[in-house]
A and B are shown apart, each in its own frame.
Chain A
């Protein structure tokens, strides 16, 4: 009995020590993935380019705020996360950070004082970045970014997410792989460049991969089946990029690259979060890099052959026939389509070229969550002005013109029309999205 108590006591002590160690022993910080020559200097512009690839600006700049001064609210399922000031300001920014501190934030998700970052910062993906890019990026932030004194609001999540040390365990699951990038030896340079960007800096999986039980990205490279097969962000669906019906598989590599650099191609347009990604990040990538991303995505498609072949003759769908006949007794959904949408998207649902996107087979229209579609119908959409396509093409919103019931009928029609097959939308769904705008 005494022995048992003693053993238990030892176990408790060990447990407490382990817990204290878990909480207080500093995290081992990952060193450089490769040793660079002592005189390594990043090429001019490389750091800014890596910043664009990593889209640092999108999260670390507040609406109307100074670049990289932080303070932007990121809505997460756990609560609001406030992004930090990453300008080289010594008081409120990262001006005192060493290269090792900087790397640890990108690779391990820890700040110099050992605080764990919330994984809204995609260090799961940044861990794949090369040492050259890390050094270039560090150099950029230290020397090219204007220091801004801006004390941002501290992130205060509710229990238990306020216990940041818990992330240590999460990191064992999500970000414990060897740092740096391992090219796929069996593939060519273009594939591996695309792979490097997609998996690393561009952190595509942060939105486009599903999350596992522990909210970590389900797979960080193409060897995982779930990798880039679609995810969810703030209630919006980030579409699948690998299935036969997905954009990168249906479109040519050139079309996918055009979508990435201009937010539009002959089939579709980028809306919502993806529009912002093009606006702030992908439009600055070289043509070769966007082609590499597109080629990589195409190669990792899971649909095989069937994806490619489009019918030689356009099929006249029942929906097209109904819209063309335009009988006075047609249901509300298609009637609203003719009155509001058909002028640009046409009875075929095919739109026109790079100006009016297709609705038939459009991943936004058929997304699991109808939130994105409803949002576009209510509030419209605007494409960013890019070097290759400067026009800020806009679709106007219909929030003033259509009721919740009407938008539900219209959205349901779109999701079931032509060759689309997606569940109906209710007036309550529409109301929920409409109410978001009134906060």
Chain B
């Protein structure tokens, strides 16, 4: 039996980064706000507390903080001809759950996209001609400019507590920072973290090669910090347990450190955990939404939660799934190239070199998720697409994140993978290896998309989300370009031996090894309702009282980790809702 709860002004679906941002921004407007979180409640103490959290087996290997695929997963296929199969065993990406969401178990790498990325299609066409794009490429411009977003990036960085060195303040290039970054209005709120020795070695080699190294920017506190909500962080001790873990030290930026306790003080804010939203409900004329129906895992019943404003603030894939199962917006059809929901799904391409040094001790147990030095010399802005034959770019980084034995014991190729030979290899090489990674963009294509699976249903009887994705030759060319540029830098560091890990022509998407959790697109933002689900304020073209946050709004994936953009867009949308929508609810475009 379904029960109906008392109506709220705003219901938020998911209580991670964007849910927390929307929660506090709209609660500050005096609205009655409810956040529904499918997972459990969690906080630094007791959930992440020392030493229980730093258990590699439980959290690093057995994914203790992640949503179990038995509860929620997707089906995956690599082309339209394949039959998609459920992603039953976690590998290539990890979906978090519980209060704080992926914001609790990330590495903390925080970026703003490069300047050309906001108007990528125009930039590519104007500068290199439309011919550099492959025929099936469906990239498009963001409907808002970097200049419009800048104050919101700045705000998110200050709320989240990001450490870094600015490279471009209002157009003035600052020594030591990233000279290629889009101009920022202010410094990072905290100075950059110190780097471990591998990062320093890379910095020196990159500099010698004529590149422009800068400290990696990240949500790892380099000092004690207080943000605009008077929430606090303490300085990081480089324990090396960031990704896949909650931070026990109040040092990694998360909804818990940045927002939640301040939000909990508000009497007009409420959150309910174990409350999994099943669908958004539409009004009879389909022009607005009336609320959401969720499954209350405590009572085992469906609940209708009416609300004037619904904001999807779940993980990217879940937001797209909800739009599809709720029948809001036309689902994308790759055969006709019509429809919008599920269109322009993109992932991330990574590659790198591992370098082994007989005589170097890297002390890999010292690390942070955003450790080390980066270069952006091969970023999107800096590549001649016409000459190189691809569209895209990558940033490089060297900086160990952890020395956990189960996850971080690289061995030279040819070392036995078990037995005495393996033990000998570990004895010889543990602590003597470092890596340089390239973190590359992925364009959107006609054949890469999300829709509802025709066969598999989830535990609530809803069709599962189906992902159709494979590596595209454009990205293979991009990553091979990175390999070619990285090899001489790696060699210049004189390792005893080194080995590469870049995808080659013909590489197929393999969901087994972890790659990244950067899933983007599916409900993209744009100027044209025929090619986007959301307008420039992340408002649904179909139902004006529905807004959708997350990386699912990206028209294509950037070359960076998405959180900075996700946070910036959330503040941008929150601003529009507060200043423009609430006084007069209507389609804002």
Contacts and interface: CB of A to CB of B under 8 A. Distances in A.
B224 interface: yes
A355 B226 CA distance: 9
9 contacts: A352-B224, A353-B234, A354-B226, A356-B235, A380-B45, A385-B264, A390-B264, A391-B257, A401-B51
A27 B230 CA distance: 52
A61 B486 CA distance: 68
A354 B224 contact: yes
Interface of A: 340, 342-344, 352-356, 380, 382, 385, 387-396, 401
Interface string B30-68: 000000000000011110011100000000000000000
A412 to B, nearest CB: 22
A85 B46 CA distance: 35
Nearest to B234: A355
A352 B223 CA distance: 7
A391 B250 CA distance: 11
A355 B265 contact: no
Given A352-B224, A401-B51, A391 B234 contact: no
Contact of B232 (A380, A387, A389): A389
B147 interface: no
Contacts of A396: 45-46, 49-50, 248
B174 interface: no
Contacts of A394: 43-45
Interface string B241-276: 000000011100000010001101100000000000
A388 B226 CA distance: 11
A352 B261 contact: no
B514 interface: no
A391 B232 contact: yes
Contact of A390 (B224, B248, B261): B261
Contacts of A353: 223-226, 232, 234
Contacts of A355: 224, 232-235, 250
B234 A352 contact: yes
B169 interface: no
Contacts of A342: 237
Contacts of B49: 396
Contacts of B325: none
Nearest to A401: B51
B239 interface: yes
Contacts of A395: 45
B262 A356 contact: no
B224 A343 contact: no
B246 to A, nearest CB: 13
7 closest cross-chain pairs (CB), A and B:
A353-B224, A355-B234, A394-B45, A396-B49, A390-B262, A343-B237, A352-B224
B231 A356 contact: no
A352 B45 contact: no
B103 to A, nearest CB: 16
A354 B232 contact: yes
A395 B48 CA distance: 11
A344 B230 contact: no
A343 B223 contact: no
Nearest to B48: A396
Contacts of B233: 355
Given A355-B250, A390-B265, 14 more contacts: A344-B234, A344-B237, A353-B223, A353-B226, A355-B233, A355-B235, A356-B224, A356-B234, A388-B230, A389-B232, A390-B229, A391-B230, A391-B231, A392-B43
Interface of B: prevailing SS? loop
B225 to A, nearest CB: 8
A391 B46 contact: no
A401 B50 CA distance: 10
Nearest to A387: B265
Nearest to A339: B51
Contact of A385 (B46, B224, B261): B261
B51 A352 contact: no
A344 B233 CA distance: 11
Contacts of B232: 353-355, 389, 391, 393
Contacts of B235: 352, 355-356
A117 B515 CA distance: 70
Contact of B249 (A344, A385, A388): A344
A391 B45 contact: no
Contacts of B261: 385, 390-392
A266 to B, nearest CB: 9
Contacts of B44: 394
B207 to A, nearest CB: 31
A356 B223 CA distance: 11
A396 B45 CA distance: 6
A343 B237 CA distance: 6
Contacts of B248: 396
Contacts of B229: 390
Contact of B230 (A352, A380, A382, A389): A389
Nearest to A266: B224
A268 to B, nearest CB: 14
A394 B232 CA distance: 12
A393 B233 CA distance: 10
A403 to B, nearest CB: 15
Given A353-B234, A355-B232, A391 B51 contact: no
A91 B44 CA distance: 46
A393 B232 CA distance: 8
A261 B261 CA distance: 17
A356 B236 CA distance: 11
A184 B237 CA distance: 50
Contacts of B231: 390-391
A229 to B, nearest CB: 32
Nearest to A394: B45
A284 B237 CA distance: 35
Contacts of A392: 43, 261
Contacts of B223: 352-353
Contacts of B224: 352-356
A36 to B, nearest CB: 35
B252 to A, nearest CB: 13
Nearest to B226: A354
B230 A390 contact: yes
Given A356-B234, A401-B51, A393 B249 contact: no
A343 B368 CA distance: 14
A367 B39 CA distance: 43
B81 to A, nearest CB: 53
A401 B223 CA distance: 28
Contacts of A389: 230, 232
A380 B248 CA distance: 13
B235 to A, nearest CB: 5
B46 A343 contact: no
A393 B262 contact: no
Interface in B296-329: none
Interface string B195-234: 0000000000000000000000000000111100111111
A393 B239 CA distance: 20
Contacts of A390: 229-231, 261-262, 264-265
Contacts of A391: 230-232, 257, 261-262
A437 to B, nearest CB: 16
Find the residue from A342, A355, A380, A385 having the highest chain B CB count within 10 A. Answer: A355
A356 B265 CA distance: 22
Contacts of A340: 50-51
Nearest to A395: B45
A113 B225 CA distance: 56
A391 B225 CA distance: 12
B64 to A, nearest CB: 17
